[in-house]
Amino acid sequence: MRIWTFDTTLRDGTQGEAVSFSVDDKFLIAQKLDELGIDYIEGGWPMSNPKDKEFFERARGYKFKHAKLTAFGATRFARNPVEQDANTLALLDAGTPVCSIFGKTWDLHVTRVLGVSLDENLTLISDTCRFLKQHGREVVYDAEHFFDGYVSNPDYALRTLEAAKQAGADVLCLCDTNGGTLTARLQEIVADVRKRFDGVIGIHCHNDCDLAVANTIAAVEQGATHVQGCMNGYGERCGNANLASVIALLEAKLGHTTVGSDKLVHLTSVCHYIAELANVPLEPNKPFVGRSAFAHKGGMHVNAVLKDSITYEHIKPSMVGNRQRVLLSDLSGRGNVVYKLEQHGLGDRLTDEAKRELLDRIKTMEYLGYELEAAEGTFELLVREALQPGAKFFEVVSFEVGTRMIGNRESQTTATVILRVNEAIHSATATGEGPMNALDLCLRQCLSPVYPVISNVRLTDYKVRVVDTKKGTAAKVRVLIEWSDHRRSWATVGVSDNVIEASWNALLDAIRLELMRLADKDESIEKAVEDYCWGV
């Protein structure tokens, strides 16, 4: 069955504590959602937020391929006639083909929060829906707190829907605004609404009970055909229903049609893209799209998966654009490492002794606090060093970096690096924005005359975490850096008592890896490595 998808990442999603998008971000995300084949993109609440107003102004000139842009607002204020209500007029001004408006269902909210009579609230709903329909808009009516309202006063809750329906609303969307409704109860209530109303019934769930996705699916099973949610489950408090999971379940497990299977393969990359713009790392264990969603750690599971992936994978990861990964860890048998090497097509090129030595180095690094699972670049470098034992591109003679600040003036950071490259000494001094930048500039000054290719390597993310917090400011830190050379991305890791040394090591690893890759262009490695470093 065709189920309509309504994404509210740009509106409800921005209510999440950690999430904040610039107007540029919002525009980029809307384009991505359009490419994914989302039906409705709720862009914001023009009345409540100048940023959202600006977004709609910018979007006016843009033609979406498939999606209908939607502006969000409330039913009119009680004291305003609808044609003079600033909120309603702002909705029209947004110039979108669709408006979604929320109205009160719950008698408690009508009287305590809105402060109007129950009958007056019905007029607010019907006035606003009718006015927007008269101006040619498709209207999605969001029945706020529908389930709590139904439990408190079922007749009144149904009358609010009736008011919207009579006034021409195209979709009656039932919202579990507080996220407190359990699945069995929600199912009964949706079934009752389905029985009483024809047309499109929508569902909008929040995750306060860890049930938002299950509730959305349960509503579809009772006849809802319009699903609202946020990509990655962003949203106020515990978030909205994760629309990515809902789409994957409807398409891949229940045989419904949303974006279509040809677009479903973009799901993983869209989720990671949005997480990047939100500047919130995507939880690795996110269903369907997380980096760990099809990752196998236990030695026994790995063995079974290598025999037949159906043994521990409920769908083919490629359906949603994700992939299988096999992890290195103290739980895994040696089989995992061998699998990694074979995945690289490098198994045959290593002697048994080189394999053993590699394994010892991995163990030692893990003991020191390196997390190789998160740093495939550093792991690839280990493999390549085992494969090309003679390859030495440069040696570090010394480095030095200092930061000085006088009074309230801006601080200054200067570094000096001395390297030995092909028996010649190269040195450089540079001032940078922070120690990493100063060291990086020196390194590139020394190396780029000899290896111009390193100018392609660019930092894309930098994270520091304390490994052992018991020692206060002297604690050991782990630095994880993500890099890109425009073709692919990878991460390197450094561990030290000293954040500068840890960062320096991760920086050196990234540069060395790029040089190693150039020195051995065996196509099978190139392919295996690209395959391996699946950029997210």
Chain positions 173 to 192 lying near a second copy, rule: CB under 8 A, are: 177-180, 182-184
CB 180 within 8 A of CB 189: no
The 3 state secondary structure assigned to 302-344 is: HHHHHHCHHHCCCCCHHHHCCCCEECCCCCCCHHHHHHHHHHC
Using rule CB under 8 A, residue 359 touches a second copy: no
For a second copy, the closer CB: 46 or 435: 435
Q: Which one, of 152, 176, 180, 174, lies nearest residue 161 by Cα?
A: 174
H or E element at residue 460: strand 458-466
Q: For residue 493, list its beta bridge partners.
A: 480
The CA–CA distances, whole Å, from 107 to 10, 111, 187, 202 equal 29, 6, 21, 21
For a second copy, the closer CB: 257 or 498: 498
Using rule CB under 8 A, residue 296 touches a second copy: yes
For a second copy, the closer CB: 493 or 525: 493
Between CA 4 and CA 40 the distance in angstroms is 8
In the range 462-501, which residues lie near a second copy by CB under 8 A?
462-467, 469, 472-475, 477, 496-501
Q: Cβ of residue 370: shortest distance to a second copy, in angstroms?
A: 12
H or E element at residue 172: strand 171-176
| 98-104 and 138-144 strand pairing | parallel
Length in residues, the chain: 536
For a second copy, the closer CB: 295 or 386: 295
How many residues in the shown chain lie near a second copy by CB under 8 A? 125
Q: Which stretch binds a second copy (CB under 8 A): 25-33, 290-298, 376-384, 521-529?
A: 290-298
Using rule CB under 8 A, residue 291 touches a second copy: yes
Q: Cβ of residue 5: shortest distance to a second copy, in angstroms?
A: 16
CB 479 within 8 A of CB 525: no
Q: SS3 of 528, please? A: helix
The 3 state secondary structure assigned to 277-296 is: HHCCCCCCCCCCCCCCCCEE
In the range 93-122, which residues lie near a second copy by CB under 8 A?
108-109, 112-113
Using rule CB under 8 A, residue 322 touches a second copy: no
Between CA 322 and CA 266 the distance in angstroms is 9
Q: Cβ of residue 176: shortest distance to a second copy, in angstroms?
A: 9
Q: Cβ of residue 53: shortest distance to a second copy, in angstroms?
A: 13
Q: For residue 416, list its beta bridge partners.
A: 400, 429
For a second copy, the closer CB: 221 or 522: 221
For a second copy, the closer CB: 507 or 525: 507
Q: Which stretch binds a second copy (CB under 8 A): 57-65, 93-101, 406-414, 521-529?
A: 406-414
Q: Which one, of 318, 348, 330, 302, lies nearest residue 528 by Cα?
A: 348
Q: Show Cβ contacts of residue 139 under 8 Å, excluding neighbours closer than 6 positions.
A: 98, 99, 100, 101, 129, 132, 133, 164, 168, 169, 170, 171
Using rule CB under 8 A, residue 433 touches a second copy: yes
CB 323 within 8 A of CB 352: no
Between CA 408 and CA 431 the distance in angstroms is 19
Radius of gyration of the chain (CA): 28
Q: Which stretch binds a second copy (CB under 8 A): 127-135, 343-351, 396-404, 517-525?
A: 396-404
Q: Which stretch binds a second copy (CB under 8 A): 88-96, 211-219, 255-263, 347-355?
A: 211-219
Q: Cβ of residue 65: shortest distance to a second copy, in angstroms?
A: 27
Q: Which of 94, 143, 175, 218 binds a second copy (CB under 8 A)?
A: 218
Q: Cβ of residue 296: shortest distance to a second copy, in angstroms?
A: 7
Q: Which stretch binds a second copy (CB under 8 A): 91-99, 131-139, 309-317, 521-529?
A: 309-317
Q: Which of 401, 454, 528, 529 binds a second copy (CB under 8 A)?
A: 401
| 325-326 and 412-421 strand pairing | unpaired
In the range 48-87, which residues lie near a second copy by CB under 8 A?
48-49, 51
Q: Cβ of residue 291: shortest distance to a second copy, in angstroms?
A: 8
For a second copy, the closer CB: 68 or 291: 291
Site string for a second copy, 133-172 (x = CB under 8 A): ----------------------------------------
CB 463 within 8 A of CB 494: no
In the range 370-389, which residues lie near a second copy by CB under 8 A?
373-374
Q: Which stretch binds a second copy (CB under 8 A): 157-165, 193-201, 340-348, 454-462?
A: 454-462
**Which 8-state DSSP code applies to residue 473?**
G
Using rule CB under 8 A, residue 294 touches a second copy: yes
Q: Which of 84, 261, 311, 388 binds a second copy (CB under 8 A)?
A: 311
Q: Cβ of residue 185: shortest distance to a second copy, in angstroms?
A: 10
Q: Cβ of residue 27: shortest distance to a second copy, in angstroms?
A: 16
State in Å, rounded, how far the first CA of the chain is from the last one: 32
For a second copy, the closer CB: 159 or 185: 185
Q: SS3 of 486, please? A: coil
Q: Which one, of 505, 495, 498, lies nearest residue 369 by Cα?
A: 495
Q: Which of 100, 215, 225, 378 binds a second copy (CB under 8 A)?
A: 215
